[in-house]
A and B are shown apart, each in its own frame.
Chain A
Amino acid sequence: MWLSPALFLMLISILTSVCLVVSSPSLFISWVGLELNTLAFMPFLLSKKSKLASEASIKYFLTQTLASILILVGGLGLSIKLGAAPFHSWVLSVAEASGWLSIFTLLTIQKVNPLLILWMFCPLSMEFFYGVVLSSLVVGGLTGLTQTSIRSMLTFSSINHVGWLMTAISFGLGVGVYYFLIYLATLLCSIIIFHMFNVSHVNQLSLLNFKPSNQLLMFFALLSLGGLPPFLGFLPKWMVLQLTISYSMLLVAGVMVSMSLLVLFFYLRLMFSSFIMGGLSFTTFIKAPLPLPIFFILLFAMSGGGLALAYFL
């Protein structure tokens, strides 16, 4: 489904828009790149042919158009584009109605252009952006606790990560890119697993035919996404925390740490329900549940080996 020629063209357009924003000398050309990005993402949302998907695509279009207008008059539109709290309500309804590839694109690639424009043209030391960062961290952590749909959980986790990303990018482009790439890798692991096992709700994790080895792989992917050491996902959070403390941004650091606990809590609760209700048997522990290349890529991305290599790089 996802690699039809039309969607491939849209993917190329999205990547072109990223290149346009990266290389643009002015805000106007960056804005054109943002518009191209919005335009090219619409067919991704509509690839899943349901009435909820068409409703989600209209909501996405209207929100992004409003945000684009607001960008021209101020930085508020960038927060809307990023899906940062308190402008995050559209992200949930769009993500709920989308397929896994669309969600992955929405939560990662669609954030690149607004973050780049934020770094290039907006002073991130403004109080407004501190407010957006803190509210994203808090909303992402607290609201994710009440969710039972896995798409919603990943969305709120992403809103939490937007807070981290905006903080990272305020310290420099290198830090922001580093955080983003590791977030992309860890999110990709989780989404590949959810897509291949066709899981979209918490009660599906306790199905009788869900192998324990699959459960463990999902467990590690989620812990990495939640930022628990020794997994790869811990490294960018460690880096951002160290920078915030060295710049005496203690309130932001405190909120980041406490909200990370909440995000980790709802991932752990998800997996505990699957372990307790699904049972655990070590007899199938050794078998690889997925095609071997994907299995090893995932393990490498999640593991401490990846962490160590990224550190030395």
Chain B
Amino acid sequence: MYRFIANKLLVPSTCVRGLDFPGVFVPSTSFHEYRKSGYVDKTQKKTSTRESIRNGLKELKQEIKNWTAEVKDGVMMDPIMAMPLPGEVDAQWFFNQNTNFDDWVVTADSDHNEGHSTCSFGVSPVGKGLFSGNLSTQLVKDGKVKNAGYCNIKSIRPLKSFKRDSFHDWSAYTHLVLRVRGDGRSYMINLGSAGYFDINWNDQFHFALYTRGGPHWQVSKIPFSKFFMTSKGRVQDHQQAVPLNRITSFGITAADKINGPFRLEIDYVGLERDPTHTEISAYEQYKTPYFYAGY
């Protein structure tokens, strides 16, 4: 009853886009009841409790094996020996015919009827990864959408045994290295750093990657200190370094406000440690003296 009143009577129309709005209406931009802010996968079938338990029991054996492997790895692995050497690139993702592209989430604004862009992520004719599609800034005429035109690929969050959320630990590295062949358009590299509490669920770090349109591949070595922080797409005033031990996802977005097709081939995404790179954050920290109020 409360959800009915909240959804139908109290919520202003500009906030609702036919989404499953949270039952608790709090006039705050920082409260999030759902991780995906109301964007639900409508193709997903609802399963009953009995079916969920049956499916869970089927996976139990594999999860126990995974947990055993984690414990063995924790005991046997020497973290010092696994340290990267300067100048070596440790590839995180290779893209070729053997890549499982189901591990990548591909989205566009047309998925939820908010635009007309389309995209796909698969194998290119030369056997590398290909992120391509068509960007359209044409607005959907529903009176709610003000901006359109994005396509995105994102890696799924790493999981430990028993479906526990985990992180990528990139704290030993200083640079992100991408070998790509673009079309001259610019793409946004996104690093997700979702926190434990809802206020940090949508925190991401971005870097604009400019590509060359030529036939030659480019190797872009991007320092982590150059990434800037946003929350739900809004650049934050108070910038900080990327929390490299708590990276939840890596993504690439095409949203440069230019209508037309785009094409980005990716060979690999890797990490490198450069001991001469000592910068923590490239952005102004606005440190004030002790006696200033606030900061």
Contacts and interface: CB of A to CB of B under 8 A. Distances in A.
A59 interface: yes
B10 interface: no
Interface residues of A, number: 27
Contact of B80 (A4, A142, A207, A273): A273
Interface string B187-228: 000000101110010010000000000000000000000000
A52 B171 contact: no
A10 interface: no
B204 to A, nearest CB: 11
* Contact size range, B: 20 to 34
A287 interface: no
Interface stretch (B61-69, B105-113, B237-245): B237-245
Interface stretch (A15-23, A131-139, A144-152, A162-170): A144-152
A148 B195 contact: no
Contacts, number: 60
Given A52-B243, A52-B246, A148-B172, A203 B200 contact: no
A96 B171 CA distance: 12
Given A146-B74, A149-B245, A201-B171, A55 B83 contact: no
B270 interface: no
Contact of A201 (B172, B241, B295): B172
Interface in A44-71: 49-52, 55, 58-59
Nearest to B82: A148
A4 B80 CA distance: 38
Interface in B154-173: 171-172
A291 interface: no
The 9 closest A-B pairs by CB, nearest first: A4-B290, A148-B79, A50-B240, A273-B80, A55-B195, A146-B74, A203-B83, A203-B172, A52-B243
28 contacts: A4-B290, A49-B240, A50-B240, A50-B241, A51-B193, A51-B195, A51-B200, A51-B243, A52-B246, A55-B195, A55-B196, A55-B197, A58-B197, A93-B196, A142-B75, A145-B75, A146-B74, A146-B79, A147-B79, A148-B79, A202-B80, A203-B84, A203-B273, A203-B275, A208-B275, A270-B80, A272-B80, A273-B80
